[in-house]
A and B are shown apart, each in its own frame.
Chain A
Amino acid sequence: MSVARSAFRMAKFGRSTYLPMTSVLTSRTTLNSLQTKDFLSNKIKIETQQPRYLSSEAPRDVQKEIGDLVAKNKVVIFMKGVPEAPQCGFSNAVVQILRMHAVTYDAHNVLVDEELRQGIKDFSSWPTIPQVYIEGEFIGGCDILLQMHQTGELIEELQKVGIKSALMDPEDEKK
């Protein structure tokens, strides 16, 4: 494939973003008429766009990001969907349990962030979503949270980090 043709093809895709061409193109020069010698002589400079990163110049460090996320709030969960509209029965179960205890928490939706979805599994060494963190420590998924809720262990865990569960027995408060 000639260089000129591939340039043309790339330009077709990118239009304004991929190949801003700084060059000596005159109004009558069409891309088709570009010849290899033009490129070689540096008359045409093709600037390829740098891949764009969301935050900074550096590539995304998901593990560090997650480390920061779980430190941001006492209770942090990774789920499918959002608390107002969970998109998974297991995630919903976690949301409902936390609602019963009237806990405020950060929720992160893995369905809109594929890197986060995989990253959190690596971070916790835990293969499924939802995942619950209390004070930066991984607690478990839906099954475990449900079990803790049923045995009263969740109320204790929350109390340990200074969260008063709405379901706490008034008698236990004196302990």
Chain B
Amino acid sequence: VNLLTRNMSGMAGPVASIIERKLTDMLKPSHLQIINESYMHSVPKNSETHFKVVVVSESFTDKKPLARHRLVNDVLKEELSSGVHALSINAFTPEQWDKGRQVDKSPNCMGGF
């Protein structure tokens, strides 16, 4: 199941689409959610600077959280060195996800960039 946030006119932004494609190709997730959280921060409307991703994939088995995050960072290396400036990663194995892992709400913006 791939869920991509769409804006008011029903379009997913270009960066979000690229992120979706890359994560799908490289990690073959059973569940993928990409949420554009830029609206929560002090950036212009329709920015694609802050994202939360929920990735459920077998590739994370036997990997510690840091290793999982580094894997995701690596896949999205290009985006992270250009416009994307904050990435909240929730990486689970299918077993963990089925057990009902909760995804935390991201903290509120505190003004800085």
A interface with B by C-beta (< 8 Å):
80-81, 86-93, 111, 125-128, 138-144, 146-148
Contact = CB atoms under 8 A, between A and B. Distances in A.
A88 B65 CA distance: 22
B87 A88 contact: no
A111 B73 CA distance: 22
Contacts of A89: 40, 106-110
B33 interface: no
A92 B86 contact: no
A128 B85 contact: yes
Contacts of A86: 110, 112
B3 interface: no
24 contacts: A80-B112, A87-B110, A87-B112, A88-B109, A89-B108, A90-B106, A92-B110, A93-B107, A127-B77, A127-B80, A127-B81, A128-B80, A128-B85, A128-B86, A128-B87, A139-B66, A140-B66, A140-B69, A142-B88, A143-B69, A143-B89, A144-B65, A147-B65, A148-B65
B111 interface: yes
Q: Is the interface of B mostly helix, strand, loop or mixed?
A: mixed
A122 to B, nearest CB: 11
Nearest to B52: A143
B51 to A, nearest CB: 11
A111 B112 contact: yes
B93 interface: no
B98 interface: no
**Sorted from nearest, which 9 A-B pairs have the closest CB atoms?**
A87-B112, A89-B107, A127-B80, A80-B112, A93-B107, A89-B108, A144-B65, A88-B112, A140-B66
Contacts of A143: 65, 69, 88-90
A99 to B, nearest CB: 14
Contacts of A147: 65
- Which among A86, A91, A127 has the highest number of chain B CB atoms within 10 Å? A127
B104 interface: yes
A89 to B, nearest CB: 3
Contacts of B87: 127-128
B96 to A, nearest CB: 11
Nearest to B106: A89
A92 B107 CA distance: 8
Given A87-B111, A91-B110, A140-B66, 11 more contacts: A86-B112, A88-B112, A89-B109, A93-B107, A126-B73, A127-B87, A138-B66, A139-B66, A143-B88, A143-B89, A143-B90
